[in-house]
Amino acid sequence: MKIISTIIIILATVLIIFNATKINFNAPLEGDNTVALITILAGLCAIILMLILRISKRIEDKVKNKK
């Protein structure tokens, strides 16, 4: 599970960086810029979800080892 979440985090980071280069900062909410911003937001959500999953698995392992 750790390897898969790491791969997803890396892919989301690459996607964020790629789409950040596509944004026209003079008009960030027009045309293809909107798609780039939405994709950046989706990548950030994916990273947050993977980090939450990792933390919950770590907590689950500690609870199991405590019993």
Alpha helices, H only, the chain: 2-21, 32-66
User: Could you tell me the pTM of the whole model?
Assistant: 0.85
Determine the residue type at 58: R
In angstroms, rounded to a whole number, what is the distance separating the alpha carbons of residues 67 and 62?
Answer: 9
Measured CA to CA in angstroms, residue 51 lies from 11, 15, 20, 32 at distances of 14, 17, 22, 29
Tell me: the pLDDT tens digits for 31-60? 888 999 999 999 999 999 999 999 999 999
**Average pLDDT, whole number, for the chain?**
92
The answer to which of 20-24, 28-32, 56-60 has the lowest mean pLDDT is 28-32
